[in-house]
Amino acid sequence: MFPAGTSCLTPRASYNASRPAGGAPRIPSEARRQAAGEERFYSTIMIDRAPMEINVRDSAGVSILDVRGRLTIGEPSEQLHEALQAAMQRGARKIIVELNGVPQIDSSGISTLVRISIKLNREGGALRLVCGPGRVRDALTVTRLVEAIPTYESESSALANFV
């Protein structure tokens, strides 16, 4: 399976070593730094992103969550999940999540919406999404979430659906 004298644990650098026209093997830059005793410093750059904001309001017996900010893995999707859970604990069974203020959504954010939608359906409630054209709507369409959770371009359309 492996060439003679190698194993699956052989460093990748040994496979990349080749002999250019000059005759000496080419050593990857990281290995060259280590051979020279140089240290490589990795810096962590924290990119300031506006925190996600969720404003909850009621309109005609429907809880509306206005979401602003990136809905991605980690704290943002957990924050949305907690806000949706809190609305349900207060007795909300009709919920609209307004996503027009969300510039990006990933699988974690989508998963949060799916889990809450399923839970609401089991308890006799319903979830509706408001999302106009753009990157987030494209993600919802590609994942076919717009087929599973009714999605509208305006809040008034979503509210009219509950009546």
Does 103 score more than 70 pLDDT? yes
Strand 53-59's sheet: what is its strand order? Answer: 53-59, 62-68, 94-101, 126-130, 151-152
The pLDDT score that the predictor gives to residue 26 is 52
Would 47 be classed as within a structural domain? Answer: no
Q: Is residue 129 located within the same domain as residue 71?
A: yes
Does 157 score more than 80 pLDDT? yes
Q: Is residue 62 located within the same domain as residue 86?
A: yes
The pLDDT score that the predictor gives to residue 69 is 95
pLDDT tens sequence across 116-152: 999 999 999 999 999 999 999 999 999 999 999 999 9
Domain that holds residue 58: 53-162
Instruction: Count how many domains the chain has.
Output: 2
Amino acid, single-letter form, for residue 105: I
Q: Is residue 30 located within the same domain as residue 64?
A: no
In this structure, the strands spanning 53-59 and 62-68 are antiparallel
pLDDT tens sequence across 12-44: 443 344 445 555 555 455 555 555 555 544 444
Q: Is residue 71 located within the same domain as residue 145?
A: yes
Would 130 be classed as within a structural domain? Answer: yes
- The pair phi, psi for residue 22, each rounded to 5°, is -70, -15
Does 74 score more than 70 pLDDT? yes
